[in-house]
Structure 1
Amino acid sequence: MNITFLGACGVVTGSCYLINIDNKNILLDCGIYQGKDSDEIKNSSFEFNPQDIDYLILSHAHIDHSGKIPLLYKKGFRGKIICTKSTKDLCSVMLPDSAHIIEYETKWKNKSRKKKNLPEIEPLYDVETAKKTLPLFEGHEYNENITLFSGFEITLLDSGHLLGAAIIKIHINKDKDKFDFVFSGDIGNINIPILKDPTKINFSDYIMIETTYGSKDHKNPRDELKKLARIITDTFKKGGNVIIPSFAVGRTQEVIYTLNNYVEKNIFKNIKVYIDSPLSSECTEIFQKYEKDYDKEAKDLLKKGDNPLDFHGLFFTKSKEESIALKDIEKGAVIISSSGMCDAGRIKHHLLNNLSRSECSVVFVGYQAEGTLGKRILDGDKKVKIFGKEIEVNSSIYNLQSLSCHADKKGLLSWIKNFNPKPKKIILVHGEESSRESFKNALEKEGFKVICPKLGEKLSL
Structure 2
Amino acid sequence: MRLKILGAAGEVTGSNYMLEVGSKRVLIDCGFHQGRDEEARNREPFHFDPTSVDAVILTHAHIDHTGRVPLLVKQGFKGRILATLPTVELTEVLWRDSARLMREEAEWKTKKNFRKGLPEVFPLFEDEDVTTALNFLSPATYDDKVDVVPGLTVRFRDAGHIMGSSILEIWLTEGEQSVKIVFSGDLGPQKTVMERNPAAITGADYVVIESTYGDREHKTNEESREEFQSLMGEILPGRGKVFIPTFVVDRAQRVMYELMLLQDQGLAADIPIYFDSPMGVKATKIYEEHLDLCSSEIQEYRHSGKHPFSPDRLKYVSGVEESQAINDVDNGIVLAGSGMCNGGRIVHHLKHGIWNPENHVVFVGYQAVGTLGRRLVDGQKKLRIAGEDVTVRAQLHTINGFSAHADRRDLMTWADNFSKSAPTFLVTHGEPKAANSLAGALKEAGFQAIVPAVDQEFELTSSEKERVSRIIVSSPQRDVASYVDLARVLDEISLSVNRLSDSAPKITNVEQALPLLKSAKILLDTVTNQAKY
Assess same fold via TM > 0.5. Answer: yes
Distance 2:420 2:289 in 1: 39
Q: What is the TM-score with the length of structure 1 in the denominator?
A: 0.96
Equivalent residues, number: 460
Distance 1:277 1:236 in 2: 22
Aligned partner letter, 2:264: E
Secondary structure at 1:380 match in 2? coil
Aligned partner letter, 2:435: R
Greater Cα shift, 36-45 or 293-302:
36-45
Please name the residue that 2:392 is paired with: 393
Please name the residue that 2:142 is paired with: 142
CA contact (8 A) 1:363 1:397 kept: yes
Deviation at 1:321, TM superposition (A): 2.0
CA contact (8 A) 2:54 2:149 kept: no
Secondary structure at 1:101 match in 2? helix
Larger gyration radius, structure 1 or structure 2? 2
CA contact (8 A) 1:422 1:448 kept: no
1:11-410 to 2 correspondences below 5 Å? 11-36=11-36, 38=38, 40-331=40-331, 333-410=332-409
Distance 2:190 2:420 in 1: 24
CA deviation digits over 1:244-271, x for unaligned, max 9? 0001111001111111122233233223
Distance 1:142 1:192 in 2: 18
Distance 2:37 2:16 in 1: 14
CA contact (8 A) 1:194 1:257 kept: no
CA deviation digits over 1:144-200, x for unaligned, max 9? 111123442111011011100000100224423222110001111243322112111
Greater Cα shift, 276-285 or 390-399:
390-399
Greater Cα shift, 176-185 or 358-367:
176-185
Distance 2:316 2:288 in 1: 15
Distance 1:222 1:353 in 2: 34
Deviation at 1:12, TM superposition (A): 0.8
2:441 aligned with 1:442: yes
CA deviation digits over 1:376-418, x for unaligned, max 9? 1111011111122111111110111121111111111111001
Aligned partner letter, 2:164: G
Secondary structure at 1:417 match in 2? helix
Runs (4 or more) in structure 1 with deviation over 4 Å come to none
Greater Cα shift, 310-319 or 409-418:
310-319
Distance 1:366 1:182 in 2: 26
Secondary structure at 1:349 match in 2? helix
Greater Cα shift, 174-183 or 45-54:
174-183
Distance 1:384 1:76 in 2: 40
CA contact (8 A) 1:59 1:168 kept: yes
Distance 1:348 1:149 in 2: 43
Change (3 A) 1:182 1:82: same
Distance 2:457 2:207 in 1: 16
Distance 2:443 2:455 in 1: 24
2:466 aligned with 1:452: no
Greater Cα shift, 144-153 or 333-342:
144-153
Greater Cα shift, 227-236 or 125-134:
227-236
Secondary structure at 2:334 match in 1? strand
CA contact (8 A) 2:257 2:311 kept: no
CA contact (8 A) 1:191 1:222 kept: no
Secondary structure at 2:181 match in 1? strand
Deviation at 1:311, TM superposition (A): 2.7
2:420 aligned with 1:421: yes
Distance 1:330 1:387 in 2: 22
Secondary structure at 2:396 match in 1? strand
Deviation at 1:126, TM superposition (A): 1.1
Greater Cα shift, 118-127 or 18-27:
118-127
Aligned partner letter, 2:202: N
CA deviation digits over 1:74-97, x for unaligned, max 9? 001110000000000001111010
Distance 1:363 1:123 in 2: 32
CA contact (8 A) 1:157 1:199 kept: yes
Structure scoring higher RCO (CA < 8 A, sep ≥ 6) equals 1
Secondary structure at 1:17 match in 2? strand
Deviation at 1:298, TM superposition (A): 0.9
Q: Which has the higher helix share?
A: 2
Distance 2:309 2:158 in 1: 21
Aligned partner letter, 1:309: F
CA contact (8 A) 1:194 1:294 kept: yes
Deviation at 1:226, TM superposition (A): 2.2
Secondary structure at 1:97 match in 2? helix
For structure 2, the 5+ residue unaligned runs are 461-533
Please name the residue that 1:3 is paired with: 3
CA contact (8 A) 1:153 1:172 kept: yes
Deviation at 1:230, TM superposition (A): 2.4
Secondary structure at 2:133 match in 1? helix
Greater Cα shift, 166-175 or 33-42:
33-42
CA deviation digits over 1:112-145, x for unaligned, max 9? 4334433223211112211221111111111111
Distance 1:176 1:280 in 2: 48
Greater Cα shift, 400-409 or 74-83:
400-409
Q: What is the TM-score with the length of structure 2 in the denominator?
A: 0.84
Aligned partner letter, 1:91: T
CA contact (8 A) 1:193 1:258 kept: no
Deviation at 1:19, TM superposition (A): 0.8
CA contact (8 A) 2:269 2:312 kept: no
CA contact (8 A) 2:16 2:30 kept: yes
For structure 1, the 5+ residue unaligned runs are none
Secondary structure at 2:383 match in 1? strand
Same amino acid, percent of matched pairs: 35
CA contact (8 A) 2:21 2:174 kept: no
Secondary structure at 2:180 match in 1? strand
CA deviation digits over 1:97-124, x for unaligned, max 9? 0111112222233334334433223211
Change (3 A) 1:311 1:39: closer
Secondary structure at 1:402 match in 2? helix
Measured on the aligned residues, the alpha-carbon RMSD in Å equals 1.5
Distance 1:373 1:190 in 2: 30
Greater Cα shift, 73-82 or 379-388:
379-388
Deviation at 1:39, TM superposition (A): 5.5
